[in-house]
């Protein structure tokens, strides 16, 4: 009788152990799947914003003379702006618009995001032809979790330049 009692305890313990493993596996698969779906959706959102910003940067913006219409000390006036750095010639950038965006970003980084049409952090560099402009926050020391970047060839002051646009996030799952 003693051996039968001990066998029943072992069988019962094994059933509980297997049941616990099945539950943990089910929870793990669901959490992992949710994380993957959330991260993937947010990555697609970031890529869409990056593509849109790349197109917008080469445009003149709205209004086309936004750099003269905005008031640097009043970020509230930036709400109706759509920032573009183009000067009206295909692929050519305006030095005054680049300077205006640089000053705006230094004055109030967060209020520039809506004017750029992004919800993520941004870092835009314009290099080449004697230019080395950096606009936004460099993600190098920011412990980023997600980033997307693109390079766009352009012309500034008659010289070829490369515009690198980087959108990044250091929040959980890249959610903004």
What does the angle CA 118 – CA 120 – CA 126 come to, to the nearest 5 degrees?
Answer: 75
For the chain, what is the domain count? 1
Tens of pLDDT, residues 134-171:
999 999 888 888 888 999 999 998 999 999 999 998 87
- What's the whole-model pTM score? 0.73
Sign of the alpha-carbon dihedral angle for 49, 78, 108, 57: positive
Domain that holds residue 51: 2-174
DSSP string, 22-75: HHHHHHHHHHHHHHHHHHHHHHHHHHHHHHHHHHHHHS-EESTTHHHH--TT-G
- Is 128 within 8 Å of 155 (Cβ atoms)? no
Tens of pLDDT, residues 43-96:
788 888 999 999 999 999 888 888 887 877 777 777 778 899 999 888 899 999
Tokens linked to 140: 């190098």
Tokens linked to 58: 């080469």
Tens of pLDDT, residues 100-125:
999 999 999 998 998 898 989 999 99
């Amino acid at each position: 009788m003693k051996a039968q009692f001990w066998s029943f305890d072992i069988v019962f313990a094994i059933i509980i152990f297997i049941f616990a493993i099945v539950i943990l596996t089910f929870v793990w698969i669901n959490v992992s799947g949710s994380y993957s779906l959330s991260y993937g959706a947010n990555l697609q959102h970031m890529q869409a914003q990056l593509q849109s910003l790349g197109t917008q940067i080469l445009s003149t913006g709205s209004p086309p003379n936004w750099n003269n219409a905005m008031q640097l000390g009043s970020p509230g006036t930036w709400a109706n702006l759509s920032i573009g750095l183009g000067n009206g010639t295909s692929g050519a950038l305006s030095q005054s618009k680049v300077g205006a965006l640089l000053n705006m970003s230094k004055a109030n980084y967060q209020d520039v995001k809506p004017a750029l049409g992004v919800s993520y952090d941004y870092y835009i560099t314009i290099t080449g032809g004697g230019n080395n402009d950096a606009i936004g926050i460099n993600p190098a020391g920011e412990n980023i979790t997600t980033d997307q970047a693109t390079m766009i060839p352009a012309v500034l002051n008659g010289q070829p330049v490369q515009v690198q646009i980087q959108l990044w996030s250091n929040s959980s799952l890249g959610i903004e």
